[in-house]
Amino acid sequence: MSNPMRPPRTPRPSASLRPRTTIRSGTARSALPAVALTGALLLAGCSGTADTEPPGSTSAKMNPSPATTPTWAPVTGSPQVIPAVRSFRRADGRGWRPSSGARVVVPAGAKSNVADEAQRLAKELGGMTVVYGDQTVRPGDIEVKLSGKNGADNVPVQSTADEAYTLTASGTRLTLTAPTDAGIFYGTRTVKQAVRAAGGLPEGTIEDRPDRPQRGMSLDNARKPYTLDWIEARLREIADLKLNQFQLHFSDDQGFRIQSDTHPEVVSADHLTKAQVRQIIALARSLHISVVPELDSPGHLGAVLAHHQDLLLHKASGSVVPGAIDISNPKAAPLIDSLLKEMSELFTNPKGAPAYWHLGGDEYQALMSSSPSTSYPQLARAARQKYGSGGTVEDLTTGWLNDRQKTVESKGKNRIEAWNDGFFASPRVSADKNRMVDYWTGKETGKRDPASFLREGRNVMNFNDEYLYYVLGEPNQFTYPTGQRIYLSWTPMVIRGTQPVAVPASMTGPDRIPGARFAIWSDRAQAQTQQQVAAGIRLPLAALAQKTWDPGTPALSWAAFQALANRV
């Protein structure tokens, strides 16, 4: 993982989402550059005048007089978006394009939880007017309709059904319907991309929803500090790709990158303030992205232990193990728990929403020894004291992670994860049954096949280091992953190596393999600039978005997909 020597049950997509029209690659219409979005409003002519009421108006019918139907060249072909829509039923007509005087109509009102989605889309399409309430939907308008209840704003969803949406282009009007504001948001991403790629949407109906409920990106901000602006730009980028998770690995041997008031001594000079973290969380939430904080232990604690050297793990020979905490020391747990509690309070979650926390757990050097009890007798002694004469170092380490899980659960975290090499064959102690396995490698000491985790009933998140690990400097035989390789040969079922995990199909659905995250690790921090990292991950993120939204064989060739990614 981070030194790469280093889930609610979700129904499968219904038959109605299986494509009824085969979407094949072909020559795309000329792209509408992002900078030309405003110009698109003028290219599609309309003799009616634009509303004079400013955006945000809540008045009733502002202009009861009929508007003239706008005219434009037909939008042809299939919707051109990433990820590709799951189902599109063509119809006869000219489709929909942004046009002068067109509005975004929100029947649910200005105080509804979809008002912000409508306002964002209107701005992205060149500053369209947004109107609320009982309005006549005029030619050229976009109507944004909430089919479910008007719940709390920007609360993470519970299932892929909550992320579904329907878009219909008919009679020069566009109707977007979804059960939640998340579904509305994803529909607006489709509109935005389609306008950029082809000027608009073809006549017909899109029915769309993701296959996997968890889709995202992980960032190692500990070894290489990334600026607030860079992080926010990546949040907007992954949101446009309909990815919904952002994992932040903020502590490691090289740095502790978030302000701490309980232990200011451990904080690196270049770090995010708590105010900046709150800003990241707020932006992520507005984009329907869940933040997954990671404070790794009992390994990868070098930045913390530099100021608490009495807690460093020592071998029997007396040599120090860098970055590893001595979990037999009675002062170790209180130090880490105080940091976990403080950071858990910083990374807030809406009431009732999934509340994620990543415990790390990987590459604890004591368990990478051929004989942990011989090399680390103090750990073996503590294990026997706690778990009886048969207690092992593996038991002690599993118990450590179980106790850290209880700490963050006491602060409201309810979706707990750890790296696969943090799950040990412990004879006396089992890893908490509610902890998800984040599977990144099969190269570690005592490696377990991902099939073994699935067979014992655990859910497994895909971090396959063969495809999804972008390790700066390419150490330890890592190579930078390519979008092409992900697009052509990876699916969420390919958890380790290059072949699908060998378990029955019933164990590979979204309820058991909830998705995947693309991980950026900063092992050799100076190997790339932030701008180079952004460029390097662009196509892999697009490919990941496609294969987690729909793991089937894509309709577009790689060349066509790459060209589309360059447009949208």
Decide the pairing of beta strands 460-462 and 469-471: unpaired
Q: Is the separation of the CB atoms in 270 and 257 below 8 Å?
A: yes
Partner residues linked to 325 by β-bridges: 312
How far is the C-alpha of 157 from the C-alpha of 288, rounded, in Å?
Answer: 8
Where do the domains of the chain lie, and which CATH numbers do they carry? Answer: 87-208 (3.30.379.10), 214-555 (3.20.20.80)
What separation in angstroms does the CA of 54 have from each of 168, 543, 561? 26, 39, 39
DSSP string, 266-295: G--SS-B-HHHHHHHHHHHHHTT-EEEEEE
Q: Is the separation of the CB atoms in 547 and 491 below 8 Å?
A: yes
Query: In 3-state terms, what secondary structure has residue 218?
Result: strand
In this structure, the number of other CB atoms found within 10 A of the CB of residue 558 comes to 17
Backbone angles phi, psi at 513, to 5 degrees: -115, 85
Share in percent of the chain as helix, strand, coil (round to 5): 30, 20, 50
**Which helix or strand (DSSP H or E) is residue 564 part of?**
helix 558-567
How far is the C-alpha of 492 from the C-alpha of 215, rounded, in Å?
Answer: 10
Which residue has tokens 């405003």? 38
Q: Which amino acid is at 276?
A: Q
Among candidate residues 206, 194, 215, 238, the one with its CA nearest the CA of residue 21: 206
Angle at alpha carbon of residue 482, lines to 437 and 471, rounded to 5°? 60
DSSP string, 27-49: PPPPP--GGGHHHHHHHSB-SSP
| Encoded tokens for 48 | 């009616």
Answer positive or negative: Cα dihedral of 104, 19, 73, 168. negative
Burial of 61 (0-12, 13-18, 19+ CB in 10 A): exposed
In this structure, the number of other CB atoms found within 10 A of the CB of residue 331 comes to 11
CA dihedral 179, 288, 482, 250 (to 10 degrees): -150
DSSP string, 474-537: --TT-----HHHHHHH--TT--STTS--SS-GGGSSTTTS-EEEEEEE-TTGGGS-HHHHHHHH
| Encoded tokens for 247 | 């994992």
Q: Which residues are catalytic?
A: 363
**Which helix or strand (DSSP H or E) is residue 168 part of?**
strand 165-170
Q: Which amino acid is at 306?
A: A
How far is the C-alpha of 164 from the C-alpha of 160, rounded, in Å?
Answer: 7
Which residue has tokens 């939640």? 180
The predicted pLDDT at position 446 comes to 59
Q: Is the separation of the CB atoms in 192 and 77 below 8 Å?
A: no
Instruction: Name, in order, each residue with C-beta under 8 angstroms of 558's C-beta and a sequence gap of 6 or more.
Output: 484, 487, 488
In this structure, the number of other CB atoms found within 10 A of the CB of residue 285 comes to 19
The predicted pLDDT at position 11 comes to 41
Query: What pTM did the predictor assign?
Result: 0.89
Q: Tens digit of pLDDT per residue, the chain (568 long)?
A: 544 444 443 444 443 444 433 333 333 333 344 444 444 444 444 433 333 333 333 333 434 445 678 889 999 999 999 999 999 999 999 999 999 999 999 999 999 999 999 999 999 999 999 999 999 999 999 999 999 998 888 888 889 999 999 999 999 999 999 999 999 999 999 999 999 999 999 999 999 999 999 999 999 999 999 999 999 999 999 999 999 999 999 999 999 999 999 999 999 999 999 999 999 999 999 999 999 999 999 999 999 999 999 999 999 999 999 999 999 999 999 999 999 999 999 999 998 889 999 999 999 999 998 899 999 999 999 999 999 999 999 999 999 999 999 999 999 999 999 999 999 888 899 999 999 999 998 776 657 899 999 999 999 999 999 999 999 999 999 999 999 999 999 999 999 999 999 999 999 999 999 999 999 999 999 999 999 999 999 999 999 999 999 999 999 999 999 999 999 9
DSSP string, 130-158: EEESS----TT-EEEEE-S---STTPPPS
How far is the C-alpha of 141 from the C-alpha of 131, rounded, in Å?
Answer: 10
Partner residues linked to 144 by β-bridges: 176
Which residue has tokens 């500090």? 225
Partner residues linked to 520 by β-bridges: 219, 470
Among candidate residues 484, 465, 483, 383, the one with its CA nearest the CA of residue 424: 383
Instruction: Name, in order, each residue with C-beta under 8 angstroms of 254's C-beta and a sequence gap of 6 or more.
Output: 222, 223, 302, 303, 525
